[in-house]
Amino acid sequence: MDMGSVNPDQYQQLLQVKAEQVRQLFTAFGAPQVEVFESAASHYRLRAEFRIWHEEDDLFYAMFEPGNKRVPVRIDECPMVSERIHSVMFALLDEIRKQPVLSRKLFQVDFLSTLSGELLVTLLYHRPLEEEWRSVVEPLRAQFGIDIIGRSRKTKLVVERDYVIEKLQVGDRQFVYQQVENSFTQPNGGVAEKMLAWAQDVTQSQSGDLLELYCGNANFTIALAHKFRQVLATEISKTSVKSALYNLEANKVDNVEVVRLSSEEFTQAMNKEREFRRLNEKDIDLDSYEFSTVLVDPPRSGLDQGTEKLVQRFDRILYISCNPDTLKQNLQGLNQTHRIERLALFDQFPYTDHKECGVWLVRR
């Protein structure tokens, strides 16, 4: 992360460049005007990872120039991280410096914060951790109002929780999310709220049932479930499935089934090529669903060929993409059966080339 690149005076100009790049990328598909959802110009990242550099008796947060891991650049301020992280990170390091049991062979510090004000800090070591570490670190939990995890090879010591509880405001509703350390969450909470509001808007007149692939911790599921008769959501990560079930209960959502399947496996199930015990155990009959809409939020690699063909069966497709290049590849196939009605740019990562997009497609 380039700390020197955060210049709020340049933010709007850089955002417009991104919007124009997205417009040009999807012009060939007859895409409508790009809806642009901006970020806060500073203190927008709720997640951050920092390497620790040791120099004689000192240690500090460090970054490196691309391709050069030998010469560190010391970080003494970080305007991209959330106010909650920034208020703690340097004072916490001052305390770690005082305690050899905390500083010795510490090589990385990870932060996970929330808009609701919670903060989880993970300290990563190149040495075994003993219970002495816990006794020394516990006072810091009370001092800074944080939860702390110590990690080393095959060891994870937790003081007090390994997750945070986020609260996202979308319209007149507030949604609650458990976000677990070391699992995927949206890094920009303000933009995440705008993504959920946009997804609600494009699906506002929908009915029937929703199929969601790559549901994660039920981030979109919870915000959209009330718009559909029932929802079937799939996710391959055990940790994310566990959080999804927690979040559905916390938000009192009772019309969703979550099943641990990859998109490839679910495609095989829909095609009746294989039977899956995980579907049978939950007594899920795919033929009983009346799917009108499919939501996909795939990894950077986009949709595999089989999943792309599967989603073409649905009248409406909501595609959330973290990689516009693979989105474009998928649209070359999807555009044969569907047209783009809405196109959005969500600026999750200001001052970078990263572009998060949303596309709403309807059958031709």
The answer to whether 322 is a known catalytic residue is yes
3-state helix, strand, coil in the chain (%, to 5): 35, 30, 35
Domains along the sequence of the chain with CATH: 3-41+185-363 (3.40.50.150), 47-164 (2.40.50.1070)
How many whole angstroms separate alpha carbon 299 and alpha carbon 210?
A: 20
- Candidate list 265, 322, 341, 357, residue with the active-site label: 322
Pairwise CA distance, residues 334 & 309, whole Å: 8
277-297 tens-digit pLDDT:
999 888 999 999 999 999 999
The answer to whether 264 is a known catalytic residue is no
The half-sphere exposure of 361 on its side-chain side, counting CA atoms within 13 A, is 31
- pLDDT at position 71 is 84
Band of pLDDT at residue 1, cut at 50, 70 and 90: very low
Using one digit for the tens of pLDDT, what is the confidence trace for 95-143?
999 999 999 999 999 999 999 999 999 999 999 999 999 999 999 999 9
pLDDT of residue 4: 47
- Over range 306-313, report the average pLDDT: 96
**pLDDT of 63 strictly over 60:** yes
pTM over the 0.85 mark = yes
* Percent of the chain whose predicted confidence (pLDDT) is above 70: 99
Which residue among the candidates 235, 265, 308, 356 is catalytic per the annotation? 356
Instruction: Look over the chain and give the mean of its residue pLDDT values, rounded to a whole number.
Output: 95
